[in-house]
Amino acid sequence: MGIVSPGFQGRPRTQEPALPPGQYLTEDFPVLSAGPTPRVSLDTWEFVISAENGSEHRWSWQELMALPQETPMVDIHCVTRWSKLGTNWQGVSLDTLLADVDTGAHFALAHSYGGYTTNLPLDDLRGGQAWVVHTFDGAPLPAEHGGPARLLVPHLYFWKSAKWVRGLRLKTMDEPGFWETAGYHDYGDPWREQRYQGD
Amino acid sequence: MTEMSYLDGNMLDGPMRELFTVDLSSAMGRCENCGTTGSMASLHVYSHAPGLVARCPSCEEVMVRLVRGPDRAWLDMRGTTYLQVPMPMEQTFPGPL
Ligand SMILES: [Zn+2]
């Protein structure tokens, strides 16, 4: 296990309403899933970032755990209208994972065990805004919530935080993912209520 | 040699309306991924999601996605090669033009 750096505070909420428009507060952690839950062994698990020039950066489970660890406490907002405040995670910042990746790409397509995909601007994965997380509330992330590891990008609707994440494909052109090709918004900012295409 | 002629998509309205009022559970569908053909009623539908996701019971690939917004809906059937729909004997589609 790497070094844990505590104290990440998330977005300051002093000047803002706690909930984005159209959201309600839940204390539960609803399980949403578009398919069967993949069961991924830690022995074979890997996370791969492939750059637009074809080069690949690969981490095994042990290698991920050896990277500096962060403990983000963040609010999450699902497009199905529930929000959960102050959730506790542990994982590796995408800043760390992208540090040695030589790329001029502006977009990323996250892809998962089980086939799910979602697209994000690469800038939204940088600057302390995104993590690959493996621990929730101090315990290993359960498979139904995306374990062994999921993406965590809390400033966008939660469908962007791909469960069972396996890697990122960096792209010069934006390529919409699973829900983005079926009516959902390309970017998905909950504070601007970008739920569907054209919102 | 004359050019191939076509009609604009408005002509689909009548025939498609007839299709989309049928009970889908009586239709057969073919999975684009594995070729399995079976009743649409046999698909595995995941509904605890931002939309409905219907998967092939054989290979689990997505055959249908249906997203319902407040004033719009999106139907994505790229995973379904065709639908076979039972039709009344008398009503036929327009023949080749
Ligand atoms: Zn199939």
ipTM of the complex: 0.84
- Chain Cα centroid distance, residue A180: 15
Three-state DSSP class for residue B16: helix
Beta bridge partner(s), residue A184: A196
pLDDT band at B96 (very low <50, low <70, confident <90, very high): low
For residue B71, give how far its alpha carbon lies from the nearest alpha carbon of chain A (Å).
Answer: 10
The answer to whether residues B45 and B52 touch, using CB atoms and an 8 Å cutoff, is yes
B46/A35 Cβ within 8 A = yes
Q: Is B35 left (phi over 0), alpha (psi -120 to 50) or beta?
A: left
Smallest Cβ–Cβ distance between B67 and the set A30, A31, A183 belongs to A183
Cα–Cα dist A114/A40, whole Å = 10
Q: Judging by beta carbons within 10 Å of its beta carbon (0-12, 13-18, 19+), is residue B12 exposed, middle or buried?
A: exposed
Cα–Cα dist A82/A19, whole Å = 10
B72/A33 Cβ within 8 A = no
A34/B67 Cβ within 8 A = no
Cα–Cα dist A131/A8, whole Å = 12
Distances from the Cα of B18 to the Cα of A26, A154, B41, B86, B88, angstroms: 43, 44, 19, 11, 11
B44-80 per-position pLDDT tens digit: 999 999 999 999 999 999 999 999 999 999 999 999 9
Mean pLDDT taken over chain A: 93
Q: Tell whether B69 is within 8 A of chain A (Cβ).
A: yes
Percent above pLDDT 90 for chain A: 90
> In chain A, what are the domains?
24-28+44-192 (3.90.420.10)
Q: Tell whether B63 is within 8 A of chain A (Cβ).
A: no
A66-101 per-position pLDDT tens digit: 999 999 999 999 999 999 999 999 999 999 999 999
pLDDT given at position A176: 98
B49/A34 Cβ within 8 A = yes
For residue B18, give how far its alpha carbon lies from the nearest alpha carbon of chain A (Å).
Answer: 24
B73/A183 Cβ within 8 A = yes
Task: Kindly list the residues from chain A whose CB atom is less than 8 angstroms away from the CB atom of residue B74.
Answer: 182-183
Q: What is the pTM of this model?
A: 0.87
Quote the ligand 1 centre to B55 CA distance (angstroms).
8
